[in-house]
Chain A
Amino acid sequence: MLDRVEPQIQSDAMQQAPDIAVSFRNVEFSIDGKRLLHKLNCEIGKAGKTVIMGPNGAGKSIFLRMIAGLLKPESGEIFIPPNDSEQQRSADISIVFQNPVLLRRSVSANIAYVLKQQGHSKKTIARLVSEALVQAKLEDRAQMPARQLSGGEQQRLAMARALVMGSSILLLDEATANLDPASTFIVEEMVDVASRAGTKIIFITHDVRQAKRVGDDILFLHKGRILAHKPKDAFFKEPGSEEAQAYLDGRVIE
């Protein structure tokens, strides 16, 4: 098991580009000798919501886990600017997985857990938990065992727990893939609120309509390579590659 890898924080280049949330420089990654990411170079801006798209096996989840520090690049560097808030947080990047990982505790205790790890006082925890429950529309489920919630409610809880940490970057790995439209709507609403509050959102989705609805810029990955990274409108007007066009058309990509 790997410990969380500390992404390299700040560089001269980053100081010169304060609007960058994440920067990949020649990042490569392999498993068992199979190259899964090929010399990735990209810069993801601090503002807005970046959608990562691409077919299965494109390397999207690996890309996201590298930003989260859960995987270490084989070569190259990932730069993440420092947290400029006054309070040093234990985790400046939060991640929500496709299958929510919930503790065997009540709904409110799940949210309180991450706040406790950050060292907040009991009073602050109670206040933040209450606010998070309202935002996730789970206030009437506060004392329920978290794992008894429906799939949509569980994901909303995972979202609330990630957001309550106050991280500057929130990563979502197909977080709405298994949700019904109502829960998807609530999650998107939460994403929107967080984005407006200044949280950088980077999320993976296969849902083209969702990408159009939520994203500000699209990063398209195919076979471990970035084929496009454009503002949303530009990407959907001109995907820039046959592979991206085929993906959007729902055709099989070779």
Chain B
Amino acid sequence: MEEIGNAFLIAFDLLRSRDAALMEIVQLSLWVSIIAVAISCIIGFFIGAALSVYRFPGRKVIVVVINALMGLPPVVLGLIVYLLLSRSGPLGVLGLLYTPTAMIIAQILLITPLVSALCLQVLEEFNREYDEFFRSLRLTSLAKIKTLLWEARFGLLTVGLAGFGRAISEVGAVMIVGGNINHATRIMTTAIALETSKGTLALALALGIILIIFSIAVNAAVMALRSSSKVQVHA
């Protein structure tokens, strides 16, 4: 118990002094997650918007697959990306394994189904509301998509934040494809796993505290966004 108490004290000290090793890990975590979320949003919003507007054979199958992919275990996804990027894999020639890029790829594959599914859910509601208006204007599908994305902008920002929350807390896939290499691919979640197994609880706790702060911040941002006056007046 005393050990845990000491670990907390050391953790707060590391945070207060902005320990260089700690900050490096935090920065890489943020960098990987933000890039992955940005790319996932571009892809996911396009998929979600297209599925909300276009009606074609097999559409429901795609929706089911996307929903199923949301529940894909990250370690399985990590394994798939590992096989693709390993030296003997089809993309091995790119030499991406154990790099932040590999981690970004894994996170993109992990988050995109979530972003797509949530985006579809948001846009379908808007599309129902605007359907007759759009058809009375004889809008093209592309014009409908552009309008829907803009009309749902606040809802989609929440979707992006949900994606970020998922990305920043992910450990399984990035551990496999990143390798948790010090000063190269070590991020908060993988560092926590490593430091805990080594018994270095202080650093693990410090990182844990930061992760919790991020989690609270993301949720607070979502709540603030929902209740912000700008969103309310356009509700």
Contacts and interface: CB of A to CB of B under 8 A. Distances in A.
Interface of A: 1-4, 65, 68-70, 90-91, 93-95, 97, 101, 103-105, 113-114, 117, 145, 147-148
Interface of B: 55, 127, 129-133, 135-139, 143, 147, 151, 233-235
Contacts of A65: 132
Contact of A70 (B136, B151, B235): B136
Nearest to B141: A3
B233 A114 contact: no
A119 B143 CA distance: 12
A91 B134 CA distance: 11
B233 A68 contact: no
Rank and list the top 8 A-B pairs by shortest CB-CB distance, nearest first.
Answer: A104-B234, A4-B135, A145-B233, A101-B133, A95-B136, A148-B233, A104-B151, A4-B138
B151 A103 contact: yes
Tell me if B's interface is mostly helix, strand, loop or mixed.
Answer: helix
13 contacts: A3-B135, A4-B136, A68-B136, A90-B137, A101-B130, A101-B133, A104-B151, A104-B234, A105-B234, A113-B147, A117-B143, A145-B234, A148-B233
Contact of A91 (B127, B131, B132, B138): B138
Given A145-B233, A147-B233, A147-B234, A70 B135 contact: yes
Interface core residue of A93, A97, A104, A148 (most chain B CB under 10 Å): A104
B131 A1 contact: yes
A92 B136 CA distance: 10
Nearest to A3: B135
